[in-house]
Amino acid sequence: MTVRIATWNINSVNARLEKLLEWLRSAQPDVVCLQELKCATDAFPYDAVAELGYETAAHGTGRWNGVAILSKIGIEDVVRDLPGQPGYLDPAAAAEDSLIPAEPEVEARAVAATCGPVRVWSVYVPNGREVDHPHYAYKLRWLGALRDAVVADAAGDRPFAVLGDYNIAPTDADVWDIAKFDGATHVTAAERAALTDLQDVGLADVFPRPLKYDHPYTYWDYRQLSFPKNFGIRIDLVYGNKPFVGAVSDSYVDREARKGKGTSDHAPVVVDLSL
């Protein structure tokens, strides 16, 4: 049995629906993990993807986050949010009315499902913004909750993977010019240590082959002609357990999906499994 699994930060699923449908038709993935839906759960375009044979487990609030899993091979045991997932308290929102204590918001950043023989999480890790910003500390707490949530599945016999936009470049080689990130998030020792913590529970980075150039970047800024200049970073990652990694027959970044007008600023990462 061959199973094709992909992850893609779509950067607004409704704004880029035609791009998504076009790609689904051409790439023919069995399972797709989407991030940055920018729509509420009930506003997801379920009917449009259903016409192509996909069931959907979506989780969104209508703001800038949101995640989903699309599957042609079934969706069972859906879980929304990580167990113990921390929330984020925006300092600006908290300051609006100091008489009413604000509560941290648990954002829509994780959804899990069993799809045929494979279990997956689709995750959209917080950006972190700046190293001295509260969002950075929130990012590290969130990654700690992710590690705790996947321990059992990582050690199991079923193929299992955590796919998504991690907002972390695992190594300096995963950034087009590491000097440009001096003092910035996405490349700090603490963020990379969180990825090491995932590996320590039994997950490994499924490194994709590029379809062009020597290194498989997955994100290119819309500004400064970053894509044609290949000023990219690899932050869309697939971490799989031993049964998952052992079944990988191919993995690649579909750079073609980043081309043209109206695209996401991320490219899909595709993994083929022989099970």
The mean pLDDT value for 217-238 works out to 96
The pLDDT value given to residue 101? 56
Percent of the chain with pLDDT over 90: 91
- Residue 33 in this model has a pLDDT that exceeds 80: yes
The pLDDT value given to residue 225? 94
* Longest Cα separation, the chain: 59
The mean pLDDT value for 44-58 works out to 98
How far is it, in rounded angstroms, from Cα 155 to Cα 148? 12
Average pLDDT, the chain: 95
**End-to-end CA distance of the chain, in Å?**
5
Q: Is 74 left (phi over 0), alpha (psi -120 to 50) or beta?
A: left
Q: Which of these, 269, 181, 264, 270, lies nearest to 10 by C-alpha position?
A: 264
- Residue 93 in this model has a pLDDT that exceeds 80: no
The first and second tokens of residue 78, run together, are 């859906």
Residues facing 67 on adjacent strands: 35, 59
User: In terms of pLDDT, which residue wins out, 213 or 20?
Assistant: 20
The mean pLDDT value for 149-156 works out to 98
The pLDDT value given to residue 103? 80
The mean pLDDT value for 171-186 works out to 96
The pLDDT value given to residue 97? 56
How far is it, in rounded angstroms, from Cα 142 to Cα 86? 6
The mean pLDDT value for 236-248 works out to 98
Instruction: Give the pLDDT band of residue 186 (cuts 50, 70, 90).
Output: very high
- Residue 183 in this model has a pLDDT that exceeds 60: yes
The pLDDT value given to residue 212? 82
The pLDDT value given to residue 94? 56
- Residue 214 in this model has a pLDDT that exceeds 90: no
The pLDDT value given to residue 96? 55
Q: Worst-scoring range by mean pLDDT, 32-41, 82-91, 96-105, 218-227?
A: 96-105
Percentage helix, strand, coil, to 5, in the chain? 30, 30, 45
The pLDDT value given to residue 95? 54
| Tens digits of residue pLDDT in 97-123 | 555 556 888 999 999 999 999 999 999
| Tens digits of residue pLDDT in 257-270 | 999 999 999 999 99
How far is it, in rounded angstroms, from Cα 205 to Cα 238? 6
